[in-house]
Chains A and B, each alone.
Chain A
Amino acid sequence: MTMAKRFCELQAHAPPNISGWPWLRAFRQQAQRAFAAQELPTLRQENWKYTNIRSLSETAFSDAPPPGAAELAQAENVQQTQALSLPGYRLTFIAGHFQPQLSQLETLSGAARLLPLKQAFEQEQALVENYLGSAMEYPGQPFAALNSARLEDGVLLYLPANCQLSQPIHCLFYTPSGPHSHVSYPRLLLMLEPGAQAQLIEEYLGDPVPPENAAAQFTCPLSEIILAHDAHLLHGKVLREGPQGHHIAGIHVSQAEQSHLHSISITLGGGICRNDLQVKLHARGAQVRLDGLYMLAGRQHLDNHLRIDHLQAGCRSEVLYKGIIDDRARGVFNGLAVVHPQAQQSDARQINKNLLLSENAEIDTKPELQIDADDVKCSHGATVGQLDKDALFYLGSRGMDQPTARALLTTAFALETLNPLSQGPLREQLAALTGTTLTRQAGGKPPATTSHS
Chain B
Amino acid sequence: MRDDNQLHAAVVELVALENAEIKYATVQNWYPGDQHGNGGIFNFVTKRGLCAGAHSKISWTQVETGSAITWKYPSVILKGDYSVGEFYSVALTNNYQQADTGTKMTHLGKHTRSTIISKGISAGHGQNSYRGLVKVGAKASDSRNHSQCDSLLLGDTCGAHTLPYIEVSHPMAQVEHEATTTKISDDQLFYCQQRGIDTEAAVAMLVSGFCKEVFHKLPMEFAVEAQALMEISLEGAIG
Q: Which residues of A contact B (CB under 8 A)?
A: 341, 344, 354, 356-386, 448, 450-452
Contact = CB atoms under 8 A, between A and B. Distances in A.
B168 A384 contact: yes
A368 B179 CA distance: 9
Given A385-B174, A451-B141, A363 B154 contact: no
B166 A382 contact: yes
A381 B178 contact: yes
B171 A359 contact: yes
B177 interface: yes
Given A383-B175, A385-B175, A371 B168 contact: no
B177 A448 contact: no
Contacts, number: 119
Contact of B160 (A360, A369, A382, A386): A369
Interface stretch (B32-40, B180-188, B228-236): B180-188
Contacts of B151: 369, 371
Given A385-B175, A451-B141, 13 more contacts: A357-B171, A362-B167, A362-B168, A366-B164, A368-B161, A369-B179, A371-B151, A371-B153, A371-B181, A378-B181, A380-B179, A382-B175, A384-B136
Which range contains the number of B residues in contact with the other chain?
35 or more
B172 A371 contact: no
A379 B179 contact: yes
B161 A369 contact: yes
Interface of B: 111, 136, 138, 141-142, 151, 153-183
B164 to A, nearest CB: 6
Contact of A379 (B171, B175, B178): B178
Nearest to A372: B159
In terms of DSSP, what is the predominant structure of the interface of chain B?
Answer: strand
Contacts of A370: 159, 161-162
Nearest to B135: A364
In terms of DSSP, what is the predominant structure of the interface of chain A?
Answer: strand
B156 A375 contact: yes
A231 B173 CA distance: 43
B177 A450 contact: no
A259 B174 CA distance: 38
A380 B179 CA distance: 5
A296 to B, nearest CB: 13
A376 B161 contact: no
A367 B156 contact: no
Q: A371, A375, A380 — which one has the most chain B CB atoms within 10 A of its CB?
A: A371
Contact of B167 (A364, A368, A369): A364
Contact of A382 (B154, B159, B164): B164
A2 B43 CA distance: 44
Contacts of A448: 171-172
